[in-house]
């Protein structure tokens, strides 16, 4: 009886959270006229919306741009933040605490504040209308440093010293000893970074004007507000659905680590 109640409550919760997403997925295959009815069972299935999206938007090119940007950003964030986190957690040097405070401080600076100086910089470097302009400003971030430092702190000092005696330099220690022991935290940082980069719309809109360098979210956003969809809901939803798909897939694939990392205090402190 108790059990039943529990399942009922969980079931309601599931419906509340899942319904919008499920509806959206189904709506992309529903004829335009039926969409406002919020139905989950359309009278017939259609691919028209997707056809329109693929006709009007360079979806594949946008997908490729987005992937390149997100992967490059994620890879470099993993490398650079773990280097910083290692230095902060495991090496002793003058000014370490100060540097850490400064890094923490940068977390409090809103991105909007950085927008104009960053833009000026990118223009000066001639990186507008290029993927470089989308990648370089995000190659490092404070949150990643914080999460990884916290995880690295749990690695015993003797383990690292043993590797030093065995013949490792610091970089090799980081990548052959520390990394394999910090997989959940690395996955967390990787996913957060990837998702953040994937979803970024504002910055690409500012830096990129040529369609060939636009990312998928940028294309979708411009499509939805820019009238490319001719006010139709179906194509807009279809474009948004395409956008969300890779993220959902990535999450499903990595969620085991993701949850583990949060559960084992990857974000503590």
Partner 1 sequence: MGRGIAGIRLEQVWKIYDNGYVAVADVTFEAAEGEFLVLLGPSGCGKTTLLRLVAGLETVSRGTIRIGDQVVNDVPPRDRDIAMVFQNYALYPHMTVYENMAFGLKLRRVPKAEIDRRVRAAARVLELEHLLDRRPHQLSGGQRQRVAVGRAIVREPRVFLFDEPLSNLDARLRVEMRAELARLHRELGRTMLYVTHDQVEAMTLGQRIVVLNQGRVQQIGTPLDVYHRPANRFVAGFIGNPPMNFIDGRLERLNGLRFVGEGGHVQVPLAEAEWPNIQPGQRVTLGVRPEAVIPTTPERATVQGPVETVEVLGAVAHLYVRVGQTTVVAQVDAAQCPAPEQTAYLHFDSTRIHLFDAETGQALLRLA
Instruction: Please report, as ranges, the residues that interact with partner 1 according to CB under 8 A.
Output: 92, 156, 158-159, 161-169, 172, 177, 180-181
Least distance CB 191 / partner 1 (angstroms) = 21
Q: Among residues 173 and 240, whose Cβ is nearest to partner 1?
A: 173
Which residues, including other chains, have CB under 8 Å from residue 241's CB and lie 6 or more apart? 24, 25, 28
Q: Among residues 110 and 167, whose Cβ is nearest to partner 1?
A: 167
Least distance CB 257 / partner 1 (angstroms) = 15
Among residues 243, 247, 200, 241, the alpha carbon closest in space to that of 63 is found at 243
Q: Rounded to an integer, what distance in angstroms lies between the CA atom of residue 38 and that of residue 19?
A: 10
Spell out the long-range contacts of 36-39 with Cβ–Cβ below 8 A and sequence spacing 24 or more: 36/233
Contact 104, 153 (CB under 8 A): no
Q: Among residues 95 and 110, whose Cβ is nearest to partner 1?
A: 95
DSSP run (H or E) holding 152:
helix 142-153
Separation in Å, CA 117 to CA 114, 121, 123: 6, 6, 10
Least distance CB 75 / partner 1 (angstroms) = 21
Q: Rounded to an integer, what distance in angstroms lies between the CA atom of residue 30 and that of residue 233?
A: 10
Q: Rounded to an integer, what distance in angstroms lies between the CA atom of residue 191 and that of residue 71?
A: 10
Q: Among residues 212 and 264, whose Cβ is nearest to partner 1?
A: 264
Least distance CB 92 / partner 1 (angstroms) = 7
Least distance CB 93 / partner 1 (angstroms) = 11
159 burial type by CB count under 10 A (0-12 exposed, 13-18 middle, 19+ buried): middle
Q: Looking at the chain, which runs of residues are DSSP E strands?
A: none
Least distance CB 256 / partner 1 (angstroms) = 17
Least distance CB 94 / partner 1 (angstroms) = 9
Among residues 31, 46, 213, 185, the alpha carbon closest in space to that of 122 is found at 213
Least distance CB 201 / partner 1 (angstroms) = 39
Q: Among residues 194 and 257, whose Cβ is nearest to partner 1?
A: 257
Q: Among residues 106 and 176, whose Cβ is nearest to partner 1?
A: 176
Helix (H, G, I), strand (E, B) or coil at 29: coil
């Amino acid at each position: 009886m108790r059990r039943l109640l529990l399942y009922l409550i969980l079931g309601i919760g599931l419906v509340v959270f899942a319904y919008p997403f499920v509806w959206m997925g189904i709506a992309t295959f529903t004829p335009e006229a039926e969409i406002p009815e919020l139905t989950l069972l359309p009278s017939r299935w259609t691919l028209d919306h997707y056809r329109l999206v693929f006709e009007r938007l360079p979806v594949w090119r946008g997908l490729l741009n987005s992937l390149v940007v997100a992967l490059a950003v994620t890879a470099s964030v993993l490398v650079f933040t773990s280097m910083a986190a290692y230095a902060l957690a495991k090496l002793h040097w003058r000014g370490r605490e100060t540097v850490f405070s400064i890094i923490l401080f940068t977390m409090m600076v809103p991105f909007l504040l950085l927008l104009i100086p960053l833009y000026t910089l990118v223009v000066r470097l001639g990186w507008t209308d290029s993927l470089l302009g989308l990648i370089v400003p995000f190659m490092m971030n404070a949150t990643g440093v914080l999460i990884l430092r916290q995880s690295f702190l749990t690695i015993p000092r003797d383990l690292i010293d043993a590797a030093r005696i065995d013949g490792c330099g610091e970089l090799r220690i980081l990548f052959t000893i520390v990394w394999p022991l910090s997989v959940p935290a690395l996955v967390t940082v990787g996913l957060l970074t990837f998702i953040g980069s994937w979803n970024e719309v504002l910055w690409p809109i500012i830096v990129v004007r040529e369609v060939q360098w636009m990312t998928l979210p940028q294309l979708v956003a411009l499509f939805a507000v820019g009238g490319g969809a001719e006010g139709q809901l179906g194509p807009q939803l279809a474009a948004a659905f395409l956008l969300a798909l890779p993220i959902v897939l990535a999450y499903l694939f990595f969620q085991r680590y993701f949850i583990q990392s949060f559960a084992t205090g990857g974000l503590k402190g």
